[in-house]
Amino acid sequence: MTFRRKLLVIFALTVFISVATVAIIVSVLARRAFEKADDERTAALVAQFQHEFNRRGEEITARVAAIAASDAATRISYAFSRGDKDYAPFLGDARTIADNQQLDFLEFVDGQGTIISSAQWPAKFGYPDASLPLSQPPQNAFLKKEDLPDGEALGLFSIRRVEAGEGHDEAYVVGGSRLDKQFISGLELPAGMRAMFYENFNRGFSPQSLIDPSGSSQDPQKIASFVQHVLEQKQESTTLIHWTSNPAEDETLHAIPLRGLDNQIAGLLLVGSSRRQYVELRQQIRSATLFAGGAGLLLAILLSGWAAARVTRPVEQLAQAAREVALGNWDTRVNVHSSGEIAELADTFNHMTHELLEQREHLVRVERIAAWKELARRLAHELKNPLFPLQLTVENLVRARQQTPEQFDEIFHESSTTLLAEIANLKAIISRFSEFSRMPQPQFHSLQINDLVRDVVKLVRAQLQGPDRAAIECTMQLADTGEIAGDPELLHRVLSNLVLNAMDAMPQAGRLTLLTHAQENSVSVEVQDTGTGLTPEECARLFTPYYTSKGHGTGLGLAIVQSIVSDHGGTVSVRSGPAQGTTFTVVLPRNLDKLREQRNENQV
């Protein structure tokens, strides 16, 4: 990963973590605020319910009191005081009066609690209602479970004694309103809240006992365990109900037990608060977070890109300069317009390349001097050999002229022959040096390197199997190298040199192998021998002009090879070790572009 990318990731992570942290904090704060508001709304609704409960209770009490003071109640009380116990005249009275007074429940009972007339269960005349607290009738309304022909119901009841004057048996009016949907619907509910009522008939949870004016309880069984829990614990409780898999449908349910006269829980007020607002708010926070995070990330990418570019540009310049130096451009310099460590690094780099350049020039000078020394040594050595016979011959002529003039002609003739031979030798030496210095530029032609290899092998095959030397086995492993551009004569000379060197390296027989390889933009030729091999020092100096490890030769062969290969834009390398044989590898670029250039020049 590049330094710029690392910087980018660090910047992005920093922004992301920051935004996420802010989002979490906001979300937590929002949830707390919502829960607080929810608690306040629930408390307000419970208070409202209690107020409505009390108000309705007062209304019921007033209506029951009015009925107890009415002529109808007095008539009933009077009729039963006479002892005839005829229920028939009053069978429908309770229902009629209840309808007039808008009561759901109404019963006229005697002092023993025997029902005289019942609105909710007209057929119950003559039956006792044991649940009535007639010994000490409460002044206020109270919750009571009422048996009905088709089941049970909870109602808000009130009891009043019929004021029928002296001498009459006691009679009571028991009236009430059912806690039904209408009752619950009377509550003013804030948006997102609803109130339900659960009638506790001690039969376990029953969906039919759940009064839900909103009718939105999709599956009442989901609150069964909660209702049972509250009924068992007998205290307020709150839970979260997941109606569906959609979190927006979740609801916080607060249960408030309502007790009857016997202090038993007659029912539960269930206040439901939808979590939709909170979920939507949370969703909004999440969306805002994602948006802010996205925007922040984008901004971070841009800023970090800019910052990273600003920070890394000098570094990249330094890296590029280093690559240039690696390629041999030692005079490369880095221009950094900044300060601090990067500028110091750039200055150091420039100083380093300057030093390297100077070192290289120094080395070149040293090398040049060494080359000159070597050249002078070789030249002196080569020239010294013919000069010594020349000196001896000339001295012999002088001596013969002085000592034996009669033999001078004969000696002169012999000496002149020798002189001419040595002079010719000198000229040959000079000619080779001259030839090395005047290496011709390659003339590029289309050629197949395999053809060159085959030509060279054909040329030397006779020498390989010659009678004056041990036989050398020669093999070729030629790949389909394709066309390259090169000078056939020069390359032929390269391969000939390498093959002859290999033969010289195997005086005791061996195996000569020539291989060709094809790469996309180049071909290579390997010349392997199984000779004695070279030491690393010999390998290092092998291509130095006039260096030879053999007893004969000028030491210019491999230097010429390197010169020709280099003129073709290629490289030549050696791989060897003592007793491991030697492998020369020549890599030649295809140079097809030079072929085209040359054609263009010819056309021009």
Binding site for other proteins (CB under 8 A): 86-88, 91, 121-127, 149-150
Closer residue to other proteins in complex, CB, 151/466: 151
What type of residue sits at position 347?
D
Closer residue to other proteins in complex, CB, 1/88: 88
Closer residue to other proteins in complex, CB, 131/418: 131
- How many residues does the structure list for the chain? 604
Q: Given CA atoms 475, 480, 482, 484 in this order, what sign does their dihedral have?
A: negative
Asked if 575 and 585 touch (Cβ cutoff 8 Å), the reply is yes
CB of 87 to other proteins, least distance (A): 5
CB of 181 to other proteins, least distance (A): 22
What one-character-per-residue DSSP string does 430-467 give? HHHHHHHHTPPPP--EEEEHHHHHHHHHHHHHHHHT-T
CB of 122 to other proteins, least distance (A): 5
Closer residue to other proteins in complex, CB, 100/416: 100
Give the span between the Cα atoms of 310 and 302, in whole angstroms: 12
CB of 76 to other proteins, least distance (A): 14
CB of 264 to other proteins, least distance (A): 23
Report the SS3 class of residue 153: strand
| Residues in contact with 384: Cβ distance below 8 Å, sequence separation at least 6, in sequence order | none
CB of 96 to other proteins, least distance (A): 12
- Name which of 208, 65, 82 is nearest 140 in CA terms: 65
- The CA-based angle 263-266-267, given to 5 degrees, is 135
| Residue 409: Cβ-neighbour burial (10 angstroms; 0-12, 13-18, 19+) | exposed
Closer residue to other proteins in complex, CB, 152/473: 152
- Stated as kind and residue range, the H or E segment containing 377 is helix 341-403
CB of 150 to other proteins, least distance (A): 7
Closer residue to other proteins in complex, CB, 90/197: 90
HSE-CB at 412 with a 13 A cutoff on CA atoms is 9
| Residues in contact with 26: Cβ distance below 8 Å, sequence separation at least 6, in sequence order | 285, 289
Closer residue to other proteins in complex, CB, 96/244: 96
3-state helix, strand, coil in the chain (%, to 5): 55, 20, 25
CB of 152 to other proteins, least distance (A): 12
Closer residue to other proteins in complex, CB, 124/590: 124
Closer residue to other proteins in complex, CB, 85/384: 85
A 10 A CB-CB count for 302 gives: 11
Asked if 144 and 264 touch (Cβ cutoff 8 Å), the reply is no
Closer residue to other proteins in complex, CB, 125/546: 125
CB of 121 to other proteins, least distance (A): 6
CB of 89 to other proteins, least distance (A): 9
Distance of CA 494 to the CA centre of its chain: 55
